[in-house]
A = this chain, B = another copy of it.
């Protein structure tokens, strides 16, 4: 199955939306891909033709088994390149997503397997996301929930779900990175903001928008 760059981007976005709870809608996918619903409908027809998605007019989009497999291979390439950029070229985590967005489309089994070996076959990427193996199997994520839902006080940051430079730079500024251990001091019901404390540093408050995108596990 030979996919174009556009098709790969669609498949990957559909996978991402399917990971969430809700159904994959035309508008939702258009928003995710920064395009228009009409374009999504066009592409949906092509991907259905290629048997990568199940799609019926007005009924939403779902990856087939084949589509899911394709998605996992693209995600593997994306996340390995992110590791390369951070571990070998000293990029910081907010810079790598965009570059990996392009590098992921260089399709070569051999390149990726060599790259993985070179990196020591990492299993999580710089944002805490698991890297599928060569067969497209993804290691079970450790139990993790978003910080806004955690009901335990002492937590460790395991991943960040939004990869925008905006959020990641904010986290840099606050000293929050993967592995950071933090304590929830207070939850404010009014706006669902949370007061947290890292080590001996003074406590500070983060918005719900931020805490929703920080994944944590109990310490």
Using a CB–CB distance below 8 Å, which chain A residues touch chain B? 85, 88-91, 95, 99, 102-103, 105-106, 108, 110-111, 114-115, 118
Contact = CB atoms under 8 A, between A and B. Distances in A.
A98 to B, nearest CB: 8
A47 B95 CA distance: 32
A89 B115 contact: yes
A77 to B, nearest CB: 12
A92 to B, nearest CB: 11
A106 B118 CA distance: 21
A45 to B, nearest CB: 25
Contact of A88 (B90, B106, B118): B118
17 contacts: A85-B111, A88-B118, A89-B111, A89-B114, A89-B115, A89-B118, A90-B114, A91-B110, A91-B114, A95-B110, A99-B106, A99-B108, A99-B111, A102-B105, A102-B106, A103-B103, A103-B106
Copies of the chain in the assembly: 2
A156 B89 CA distance: 34
A102 B105 CA distance: 9
A110 to B, nearest CB: 8
Which one of A90, A91, A111 has the greatest number of beta carbons of chain B within 10 Å? A111
A12 B5 CA distance: 22
Nearest to A113: B89
A110 B98 CA distance: 12
Nearest to A88: B118
A95 to B, nearest CB: 8
Contacts of A99: 106, 108, 111
A90 to B, nearest CB: 7
A105 B102 CA distance: 9
A93 to B, nearest CB: 15
A91 B21 CA distance: 42
A45 B108 CA distance: 34
Contacts of A91: 110, 114
A118 B99 CA distance: 17
A103 B90 CA distance: 19
